[in-house]
Amino acid sequence: MAEDGVLAGKVALVTGGSRGLGRAMVLGFAEAGADVVIASRKLDNCKEVAADVEAMGRRALPVSFHVGHWDEIEGLVEEAYGTFGHVDVLVNNAGMSPLYGGDVTAVTEDLWDKVIAVNLKGPFRLTSLVGTRMVAGDGGSIINVSTTGSLRPAPDMLPYDAAKSGLNTLTEGFAKAFGPSVRVNTIMAGPFLTDIAENSWGPAAREHGMPRHALGRAGEPPEIVGAALYFASDASSFTTGATLRVDGGIP
């Protein structure tokens, strides 16, 4: 099935690809025929997902790197291109959103810098490097994973929501910079029941749902895959600089 998939012959690089939405997209891309670079901080976790990809008959490259560390990004790019020769799909999915209880004076300079580095600075650099190579090659698709908080910021997540708002801006700017051969789009994710959510609001959402949302519930990670495949494949050949909300009907 993978040999006939919509991403057959493609290589996808997914940051934060070892868990949550990233893992779901990695497996979805592999099922659609792509080989995958799984990039995240913990190599053992990346290797576990790589084994799942290889069980589908696809190639996988697990790479340990920190997207907030600018000097590690070029190494990731070199390893990906050195192994596969090309990258056709880049997903900027890695993120961090530490809470601080709504007391904005509790936001330290260190917290601010880390959140901006992971959610905005790193994706800028990675997109710059991979997008430039895509333009010089056969083109490609870049997908930024943002949040509905960038539209409706929460008092206890302001650095994160601000960084993701910046990522929305980068989507439109890079779409113009790298067009017409490279498309750049955003998936604006709402509440998903990832492992991180299970440690905070997830149990309550599972028990009571999310009645203010149109669908009345949070999403499961595999439900992000359809949007990712749309942007990654030729199905979105006339779509760039766009934002697709996948949020269950946020109020």
Coil, strand or helix: which one is 41? coil
Single out the catalytic residue among 81, 100, 160, 230: 160
What is the average pLDDT across 117-125? 98
Residues belonging to the chain:
251
61-81 per-position pLDDT tens digit:
999 999 999 999 999 999 999
Q: Where residue 200 falls among pLDDT bands split at 50, 70, 90?
A: low
What is d(CA 141, CA 232) in angstroms, rounded to the nearest whole number?
A: 6
Known catalytic membership, residue 160: yes
What is d(CA 43, CA 62) in angstroms, rounded to the nearest whole number?
A: 7
Overall CATH class of domain 2-246: alpha beta
What is d(CA 118, CA 103) in angstroms, rounded to the nearest whole number?
A: 22
For residues 115 and 97, the answer to whether their CB atoms sit within 8 Å is: yes
Rounded-to-10 torsion of CA 241, 21, 127, 39: -170
Q: Does the pLDDT of residue 216 top 80, yes or no? A: yes
What is d(CA 5, CA 23) in angstroms, rounded to the nearest whole number?
A: 19
For residues 250 and 213, the answer to whether their CB atoms sit within 8 Å is: yes
**Domain chopping of the chain, boundaries:** 2-246
For residues 221 and 192, the answer to whether their CB atoms sit within 8 Å is: yes
79-120 per-position pLDDT tens digit:
999 999 999 999 999 999 888 888 999 999 999 999 999 999
Q: Does the pLDDT of residue 202 top 80, yes or no? A: no
Both tokens of residue 224? Answer: 């992000």
What is d(CA 130, CA 205) in angstroms, rounded to the nearest whole number?
A: 37
- Show Cβ contacts of residue 221 under 8 Å, excluding neighbours closer than 6 positions: 20, 21, 23, 24, 192, 193, 194
Mean pLDDT of the chain: 94
33-62 per-position pLDDT tens digit:
999 999 999 999 999 999 999 999 999 999
Q: How much of the chain exceeds pLDDT 70, in percent?
A: 96
pTM, rounded to two decimals:
0.95
Q: Does the pLDDT of residue 199 top 70, yes or no? A: no
What is d(CA 247, CA 80) in angstroms, rounded to the nearest whole number?
A: 31
Total H helices, total E strands in the chain: 9, 7
What is the average pLDDT across 138-146? 98
Task: Give me the residue label for tokens 């008959």.
Answer: 57
Q: Where residue 179 falls among pLDDT bands split at 50, 70, 90?
A: very high
Q: Does the pLDDT of residue 3 top 80, yes or no? A: no
What is d(CA 160, CA 196) in angstroms, rounded to the nearest whole number?
A: 15
Both tokens of residue 61? Answer: 């490259």
The conformational region for residue 237 under phi > 0 = left, psi -120 to 50 = alpha, else beta, is: alpha
Q: Does the pLDDT of residue 237 top 70, yes or no? A: yes
155-175 per-position pLDDT tens digit:
989 999 999 999 999 999 999
Residue 1 has a pLDDT of 42
